[in-house]
């Protein structure tokens, strides 16, 4: 149980430090999916 808790806390710390990078990557993925959708729609 202690190992699980320590692992969860370390993942939480990584997310706290890098949330802006995750948001940046998610924005790029959403833009690519939207571009693909509109490309298929108009062609």
| pLDDT for the residue numbered 3 | 67
CA–CA distance from 12 to each of 6, 17, 19 (Å)?
10, 9, 10
Structural domain that includes position 42? 1-43
Which CA distances in Å does 35 have to 9, 19, 42? 37, 24, 11
> What residues have CB less than 8 Å from 22, skipping those under 6 apart?
15
| 38/2 Cα distance (integer angstroms) | 49
Number of domains the chain contains: 1
**pLDDT tens-place string over residues 1-42:** 676 677 778 778 877 888 888 899 999 999 999 999 999 988
And the tokens for 5? 């808790």
């Amino acid at each position: 149980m202690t190992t699980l808790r320590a692992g969860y806390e370390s993942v939480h710390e990584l997310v706290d430090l890098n949330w802006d990078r995750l948001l940046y990557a998610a924005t790029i993925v959403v833009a690519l999916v939207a571009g693909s959708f509109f490309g298929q729609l108009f062609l």
